[in-house]
Amino acid sequence: MKKKPNILITNDDGIHAPGLRHLWECLRSIANINIIAPLTEKSGVGLAITIRDPLRIEKVETFPNTPAWSVSGTPADCVKMAIKVIYDQPPDIIVTGINRGSNAGRNVLYSGTVAGAIEGVMHNIPSIAFSCWENKDPDYSRTSPFIPRILNYVLEHPMPSGTLLNVNFPRDHLPIQGVKLTRQGKEFWEANPDKRQHPVEEHSYYWMGAKLAEFDEEHDSDIAWLRQGYAAAVPVHVHELTDHMHLRKQKAHFDSCLGE
């Protein structure tokens, strides 16, 4: 019998989010799971870490037979504290989500859910982020057949060092056709500020708001596949972000102007 993998689950919607519970339900029979997730919602925190405030870690008893902890911080905090404080040895794989709302296109770096996976591969732990494009009460149950298959594929076909898999599921009105390995698209949530007046104090404030900035997308891209009802899986590399083409082109000239 194959040994069950040791999985760390985290997210950015918080430890009580239905998407996280669904991810746990999809995987609990095939894996040994620990859950270490933010106590409160941390959407849009990206790879933020908490260095100026204390972090509290507390046991959570709402996942039968599964050790679970809440952390008073971000998804990246959760992964760091899990590795340094909770685990004796790192998990076999980190799985994050399932996020309520799209982390496709250029939303990757704003996402706390993807950041949990980024933090994983920073420590050379294989990592997968799962998100639903639907952001109003998504039907997580329809992702159930795909989650264990994607997990097993990644365990059997390891990703390169520094590369995570970012998986998004299509909107609920589109039946899921399958999963495509593809490239990152361009779409992202743009700020859409809404100015308000404080009811008592004499000051105004803003809600940042968001509207989707859409672009022409490559046929083979996460956004294009999602629009056609496929789940999109993008290998996202974070260990080195150098623009090598620009570096090759510009290095000699730059260094001759500024080098010495």
**Residues 84-123 close enough to bind a second copy by CB under 8 A:** 84-85, 106, 108-110, 115, 118, 122
**Least CB distance to a second copy at residue 100 (A):** 13
Q: Which run of H or E residues covers position 18?
A: helix 18-27
* 254 is a contact residue toward a second copy (CB under 8 A): yes
> Binding to a second copy (CB under 8 A): which residues in 154-213?
157, 159-160, 163, 177-184, 186, 188, 191-193, 195-196, 203-208, 210
Q: Binders of a second copy: how many residues, by CB under 8 A?
A: 85
Of 146, 151, 187, 232, which one interacts with a second copy (CB under 8 A)? 146
Exposed (0-12), middle (13-18) or buried (19+): which is 159, by Cβ within 10 Å?
middle
Q: Which two tokens stand for residue 98?
A: 């399932």
Task: Name the residue nearer to a second copy (CB basis): 5 or 185.
Answer: 185
> Binding to a second copy (CB under 8 A): which residues in 48-77?
48-52, 54-57, 74, 76-77
| Residue 139 CA from chain centroid, whole number | 18
**Least CB distance to a second copy at residue 54 (A):** 4
Distance between CA 127 and CA 122 in Å, rounded?
A: 10
Distance between CA 231 and CA 209 in Å, rounded?
A: 26
What residues contact residue 51 under an 8 Å CB cut-off, 6+ apart? none
Task: Name the residue nearer to a second copy (CB basis): 32 or 90.
Answer: 90
Distance between CA 216 and CA 231 in Å, rounded?
A: 19
Of 17, 125, 150, 226, which one interacts with a second copy (CB under 8 A)? 150
